[in-house]
Structure 1
Amino acid sequence: MAYQIIPVTPFQQNCTLIWCDKSKQAAIVDPGGDPQLIQAAVDKAGVEVTKILLTHGHLDHVGASSIIQQRYQVPLIGPHKDDDFWISKMAMQCQMFGFPEVASFTPDRWLEHGDVIEIGELKLEVRHCPGHTPGHVVFVDHDNQLAIVGDVLFNGSIGRTDFPKGDHPTLINAIKTQLYTLDDAYQFLPGHGPMSSIGHEKEFNGYTR
Structure 2
Amino acid sequence: MSLQFEIVPVTPFQQNCSIIWCDETKEAAMVDPGGDIHLLKEKVQQLGLTVTKLILTHGHLDHVGGTAPLAAELNVPVIGPHKEDAFWLQGLPRQSEMFGFPLTEAFDPDQWLEEGDVVTVGNQKLNVLLTPGHTPGHITLHNEDAKIAFVGDVLFRGGIGRTDFPKGDYQTLIDSIKNKLWPLGNDVTFVPGHGPLSTFGNERASNPFVADEMPLY
Query: Match for residue 4 of structure 1?
Result: 6
Structure-2 residue corresponding to 1:144: 146
For 2:36, the aligned partner's letter is: D
Task: Quote the offset at 1:102 in angstroms.
Answer: 1.5
Q: Does 1:47 align with 2:56?
A: no
Quote the Cα distance in structure 1 between the aligned partners of 2:69 and 2:17.
14
Displacement of 1:77 in angstroms is 0.2
Return the offset for 1:103.
Answer: 2.4
| Residue of 40, 63, 68 corresponding to 1:61 | 63
Q: Distance in 1 between matches of 2:100 and 2:159?
A: 24
Percent identity, aligned pairs only, is 53
Alignment match of 1:198 (pick from 173, 197, 200) = 200
Q: Which of residues 159, 177, 180 is equivalent to 1:178?
A: 180
Aligned position for 1:157:
159
Could you list the runs of 4 or more consecutive aligned residues of structure 1 that deviate by over 6 angstroms after TM superposition? none
Q: What is the Cα deviation at residue 37 of structure 1?
A: 0.6
Letter in 1 for 2:20: I
Unaligned runs of 5+ in 1: none
Matched letter for residue 140 of structure 1? H
RMSD: 0.6
- Using the alignment, how far apart are the partners of 1:114 and 1:166 within structure 2? 22
Amino acid at match of 2:137: G
CA-to-aligned-CA distance 1:57-100 (integer Å, 9 cap, x gap):
00000000011101110110000000001001111111121211
Aligned letter for 1:10?
P
Gaps of 5+ in 2: 212-217
Q: TM-score, normalised by structure 2?
A: 0.95
1:126 counterpart SS class: strand
- Give, in whole Å, the separation in 1 of the partners of 2:84 and 2:137: 4
CA distance in 2 between counterparts of 1:22 and 1:182 reads 25
1:18-29 maps to which residues of 2 (within 5 A)? 18-29=20-31
Task: State the distance in 2 between where 1:56 and 1:159 align.
Answer: 12
| CA offsets 1:128-156 (integer angstroms, 9 cap, x no match) | 00000000000000011000000000000
- Structure 1: how far apart are the matches of 2:134 and 2:105? 23
Letter in 2 for 1:184: N
Tell me the CA shift for residue 189 of structure 1.
0.3
Aligned residues: 209
Alpha-carbon separation, structure 1, partners of 2:181 and 2:120: 20
Counterpart of 1:133, as a letter, is T
Q: CA deviation at 1:126?
A: 0.2
What is aligned with 2:38? Answer: 36
> 1:160 Cα deviation (Å)?
0.2
Distance 1:96 1:142 in 2: 38
